[in-house]
Amino acid sequence: MRWIDLLRMSSGNLKKRKLRTFLTILGVVIGTASIVVMISLGLGMQQSMYKQIEQAGGMTAITVTGQDVGGMMYYISYSPEEGEATKYVTDDTIAEIEKLEHVKSVTPSLTMRSMILSGNYYADIQLVGMTQEELERQHMDLVEGSRMPESNSASLELVIGNMVPMDFYEKGSNRGYWETQQLPDIDFMKDPVFLILSSEDYYNAQSGGNSGAFGSEGNAAPVKAPKKYVVQASGMMSGGIDTYHNGSYNVYCDIWTLKSFLQKEYRGKAIPGQPKTQTGKPYKFFAYTNAMVQADDIDHVEDLAAAIQGMGYRTSTNAEYLKSAQQEFAMIEAVLGGIGAVSLFVAAIGIANTMMMSIYERTKEIGVIKVLGCSLRNIKQMFLLEAAFIGFIGGLAGNILSFLLSFAINMVTAHGGAMGLDSDISYIPVWLVAASMGFAVLVGMVAGYFPALRAMRLSPLAAIRNE
């Protein structure tokens, strides 16, 4: 029997019992959609992680950290295996690392606690100074009309994270967004704001010189209020307060301009966060919070990080983070896929039941085509094709349903922002569609295999006599 005849007979038999075929296919649709949607959630989280890694310098990036400096508001934890840093990251450090093999570039970064004042509002911010090269490497998605800060500018230009407005409080009441659910009435792209380089100095001045800062009383001599700089935002990250990006809570600026402002304001005095001698005098060198190193190839990242650690610094790489994260995501995807596979397993039982019922109803037909000379192999192929048709149609419809569900999930979660992600929470790649289609067809054929064997073993004479 020709393949075209087998296809015609198989499809014809399914059309004869439309309701039963539809219900069986519906089970495959639900099972396929469950698997695809479940796995797509894990893939969505993985895509968000890849995007964040790209924004953090990519797979060839190494973050070099020395002894603490700058007074960061948010701290990075290091495992004991990474060791303790024994040196500060300085200009000499940058020059020393640049001489190592397989180093493509080295750029310093300075993070410090600062303050922004505007009208009746104030906010503690994390001010991050970076070079032009490193700022571009962050791949920030900025609102229309934005640009990166100019290097070595006469004024300090800022790029403000889209979640920074939530950090503002009202003067006097000290109530912020989390109490009032209202954002400050500030147009960051148009309104000039005041920047205080060190929030510590501001609170010391407010409290009369006590380092307790937040309004503690004391008899210390008055402390001169820190200088307020009129600054303008050159850019702002796109998205609302519910859209998370890498660095959404930061305010960025050019590091060389920031360094120049700090050295002018604190000339002859210790810059806040910078290392000091036991007598409180500043060292001659300027220390950075960290340095971003780019290796020339991903294969050299591990050796380069080890060499830098040997120099007395801590290092962390995106490759290390990616390796551990991939293992976690593989487990998540396996669990989610397993949950969805239960539905497809139930659908397989439905296919097997449908095929067995079909054999009982078509016993005489099977006997007739055997007597007419149809081979046992053709009988088996015909029933396997019917099962494969059910799997194929169910898989196709299941994938269409998966895309609709994925679209709805992404719309409800506002493209991942509500879940703390910076990309769609559900992501369906082409390979997942192809794999789910193939798996649905395979499940259908496996479920139809034993009914097909039963059809092969029917006695032609007994089948013809069957009523």
Q: Is 349 exposed, middle or buried (0-12, 13-18, 19+ CB in 10 A)?
A: exposed
Does 79 have pLDDT greater than 70? no
Written as six digits, the tokens of 330 are 């593989």
Residue 332 main-chain phi, psi, to 5 deg: -60, -45
Percent helix, strand, coil in the chain, to 5, is: 50, 15, 35
Q: Is the predicted pLDDT of residue 126 greater than 90, yes or no?
A: yes
pTM beyond 0.75, yes or no: no
In this prediction, residues 84-108 reach a mean pLDDT of 90
Q: Which of 4-8, 184-188, 327-331 has the lowest mean pLDDT?
A: 4-8
Choose among 114, 112, 136, 137: nearest CA to 124.
114
Rounded CA separation 274/70 (Å): 6
Q: What is the pLDDT of residue 420?
A: 52
What separation in angstroms does the CA of 438 have from each of 348, 391, 392, 433? 14, 9, 8, 9
Q: What are phi and psi of 397, to 5 degrees?
A: -65, -35
pLDDT digits (tens, 9 = 90+) for 9-57: 666 666 777 787 888 888 889 888 888 888 888 888 777 777 777 666 6
Distance CA 145, CA 192 (A): 16
Query: Which of 206-215, 235-244, 428-437 has the lowest average pLDDT?
Result: 206-215
225-239 pLDDT, tens digit per residue, is 888 999 989 999 988
The answer, yes or no, to whether residue 213 has pLDDT greater than 70, is no
Q: How far apart are CA 150 and CA 132, in angstroms?
A: 8
Structure tokens at 89: 């990251």
pLDDT(260) > 90:
yes
4-13, 43-52, 322-331, 435-444: which has the minimum mean pLDDT?
A: 4-13
CB atoms under 10 Å from CB of 111, counted, come to: 21
Q: How far is CA 157 from the centre of its chain?
A: 29
CA distances to 57, 83, 309, 317 from 314, in Å: 17, 7, 6, 10
Q: Are 392 and 439 in contact (CB under 8 A)?
A: no
pLDDT at 83 over 60: no
Angle at 199 between CA 93 and CA 242, to 5 degrees: 90
- CB–CB of 198/125 below 8 Å? no
72 pLDDT exceeds 70?
Answer: no
Could you tell me how far CA 251 lies from the centroid of its own chain? 21
- Return the DSSP state at 237: B
**pLDDT of residue 273 exceeding 80:** yes
- What was the pLDDT predicted at 426? 85
CB environment 373-410: b (16+ within 10 A), e (fewer): ebeeebbbbbbbbbbbbbbbbbbbbbbebbbebbeebb
- The two structure tokens encoding residue 384: 């396997």
Give yes or no for residue 87 having a pLDDT over 80.
Answer: yes
d(CA 138, CA 53): 9
- Two tokens at 214? 């937040």
For helices 376-412 and 318-361, the axis angle rounded to 10 degrees is 130
Instruction: For tokens 């290091």, name the residue.
Output: 78
Cα separation, 52 vs 49, whole angstroms: 5
User: Does residue 314 register a pLDDT over 70?
Assistant: yes
Mean pLDDT of the residues in the chain: 80
43 by Cβ neighbours in 10 Å (0-12 / 13-18 / 19+) ranks as: buried
Higher pLDDT among residues 157 and 139, named by residue: 157
CA dist., res. 322 & res. 357, Å (int): 51
Angle subtended by helix axes 18-55 and 376-412, to nearest 10: 50
End-to-end CA distance of the chain: 26
Task: Please tell me which residue, 277 or 197, carries the higher pLDDT value.
Answer: 197
221: pLDDT strictly greater than 60 = no
Task: Write the DSSP assignment of 100-155 as a string of letters.
Answer: STTEEEEEEEEEEEEEEEETTEEEEEEEEEE-HHHHHHTT--BPTT--PPPTT-SS
Instruction: For residue range 343-385, list pLDDT tens digits in order.
Output: 778 888 888 877 777 766 666 666 666 666 666 677 777 778 8
| Alpha-carbon span 368 to 399, nearest angstrom | 39
Per-residue pLDDT at 448: 79
